[in-house]
């Protein structure tokens, strides 16, 4: 029962909600879609890495950026995490501190204290800084429902985006301007989520957000960031189509959009559903619109994998290398960001915990900041990537 709940919650988060709500377990999904189940982790994939250079250095050697998300709460007190980020990362992303509910938790009082601390950490250590995120249906402030209405919505929306973007203008490499605007289960022909801003402003709220951000910071790369469309399932396929339609529409209207962010929260047991050829074609379609591609929130769940740590790490590393070797083949991909760096601090400890209560291992470094096979897999993918 407990395991079912975890699977359902994770499935919902990762966009497999329709299947989860009718009670299919992850294994069932495999049988349903995969057809090519095999024992995971049984290959002899070689994870040898030459030299000790950091991920940042290996990425930079190919004209790529490697970085990670971190939050103020842990980074400000954990020197092990700080040192690892300084060593491995060329870019830092605030995990939560720039979301609406954090920055403007109180109406008209913008609080940039933690965001500024993270921006300063990045510049002190010669890292690029990346904004996440200006518009999202989650982490809205408590005053939102009480105050925002049809009459004042556009003013509040544009004021927030302009204020936050202006504050970091000149410091921001790129912004996730709009995050997760698509939900094909919401029943709209365009696949857009029935998000609060859509209900208040109509579907052009997305274009408006990009225009306001571009005016406030003409130098940042402006990105549309989306989740849960990496696999070869009917649902992910429909989401890919909705994303391409949205991007095409934005481009055809001259919207100042420069990139697509692909979150890439991957499943440790997702290998049978990853169709490299189809996903590669999707990347080419995005690139043909003149857009750059960012891998923005990469990590690999291990909640349904068997306990054995060596085998678990090997399976996770396989997922990393298979995925990254496919996406880095597309020259429009310019950055790879993991959603955290060390297993010590990961959202998956709360959102996709293991039923056996053992610690999850989704990231490149273990909880003692040592490099794992996942690190090797990422390093190898960078070393083998074509130069940008």
Catalytic residues, by residue number, are 180, 297
Residue 197 sits in the site that holds ligand G3I (CB under 6 A): no
List 54, 71, 255, 338, residue binding ligand G3I (CB under 6 A): 71
Listed ranges 52-60, 91-99, 213-221, 325-333: which one lies at the site for ligand G3I (CB under 6 A): 91-99
Provide the minimum distance between the beta carbon of 377 and ligand G3I in the complex, in angstroms, as a whole number.
21
Side-chain-side CA neighbours of 98 within 13 Å: the count stands at 32
Residue 88 sits in the site that holds ligand G3I (CB under 6 A): no
Residue 342 sits in the site that holds ligand G3I (CB under 6 A): no
Provide the minimum distance between the beta carbon of 44 and ligand G3I in the complex, in angstroms, as a whole number.
33
Is-contact 364 93, C-beta < 8 A?
no
Segment 271 to 300, residues that bind ligand G3I, using CB under 6 A: 297
Residue nearer to ligand G3I on the CB measure, 299 or 321: 299
Residue 100 sits in the site that holds ligand G3I (CB under 6 A): no
Provide the minimum distance between the beta carbon of 278 and ligand G3I in the complex, in angstroms, as a whole number.
23
Residue 95 sits in the site that holds ligand G3I (CB under 6 A): yes
Residue 233 sits in the site that holds ligand G3I (CB under 6 A): no
Residue nearer to ligand G3I on the CB measure, 297 or 343: 297
Residue 347 sits in the site that holds ligand G3I (CB under 6 A): yes
Residue 96 sits in the site that holds ligand G3I (CB under 6 A): yes
Residue 263 sits in the site that holds ligand G3I (CB under 6 A): yes
Residue nearer to ligand G3I on the CB measure, 354 or 380: 354
Residue 227 sits in the site that holds ligand G3I (CB under 6 A): yes
Residues binding ligand G3I (CB under 6 A)? 71, 73, 95-96, 99, 139, 179, 227, 263, 297, 347
């Amino acid at each position: 029962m407990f395991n079912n709940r975890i699977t359902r919650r994770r499935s919902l988060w990762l966009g497999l909600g329709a299947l989860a709500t009718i009670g299919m377990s992850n294994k069932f999904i495999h049988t349903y879609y995969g057809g090519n189940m095999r024992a995971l982790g049984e290959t002899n994939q070689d994870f040898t890495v030459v030299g000790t250079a950091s991920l940042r250095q290996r990425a930079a050697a190919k004209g790529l950026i490697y970085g990670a998300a971190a939050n103020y709460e842990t980074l400000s007190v954990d020197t092990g995490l700080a040192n690892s980020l300084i060593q491995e990362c060329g870019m830092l992303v605030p995990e939560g501190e720039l979301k609406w509910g954090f920055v403007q938790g109180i109406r008209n009082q913008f609080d940039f204290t933690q965001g500024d601390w993270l921006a300063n950490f990045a510049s002190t250590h010669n890292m690029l800084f990346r904004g996440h995120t200006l518009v999202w249906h989650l982490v809205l402030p408590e005053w939102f429902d009480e105050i925002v209405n049809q009459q004042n919505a556009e003013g509040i929306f544009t004021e927030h985006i302009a204020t936050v973007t202006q504050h970091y203008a000149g410091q921001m490499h790129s912004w996730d301007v709009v995050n997760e605007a698509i939900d094909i289960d919401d029943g709209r022909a365009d696949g857009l989520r029935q998000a609060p801003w859509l209900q208040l402003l109509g579907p052009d709220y997305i274009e408006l957000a990009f225009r306001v951000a571009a005016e406030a910071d003409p130098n940042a790369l402006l990105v549309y960031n989306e989740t849960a469309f990496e696999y070869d399932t009917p649902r992910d396929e429909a989401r890919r189509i909705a994303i391409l339609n949205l991007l095409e529409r934005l481009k055809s209207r001259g919207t100042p959009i420069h990139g697509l962010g692909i979150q890439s929260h991957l499943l440790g047991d997702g290998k049978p559903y990853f169709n490299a050829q189809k996903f590669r074609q999707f990347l080419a379609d995005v690139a043909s619109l003149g857009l750059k591609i960012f891998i923005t929130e990469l990590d690999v769940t291990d909640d349904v994998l068997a306990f054995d740590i060596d085998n678990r790490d090997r399976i996770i590393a396989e997922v990393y290398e298979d995925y990254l070797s496919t996406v880095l083949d597309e020259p429009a991909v310019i950055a790879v960001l993991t959603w955290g760096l060390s297993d010590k601090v990961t959202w998956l400890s709360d959102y996709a915990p293991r039923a056996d209560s053992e610690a999850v291992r989704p990231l490149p470094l273990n909880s003692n900041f040592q490099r794992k096979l996942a690190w090797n897999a990422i390093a190898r993918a960078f070393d083998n990537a074509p130069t940008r």
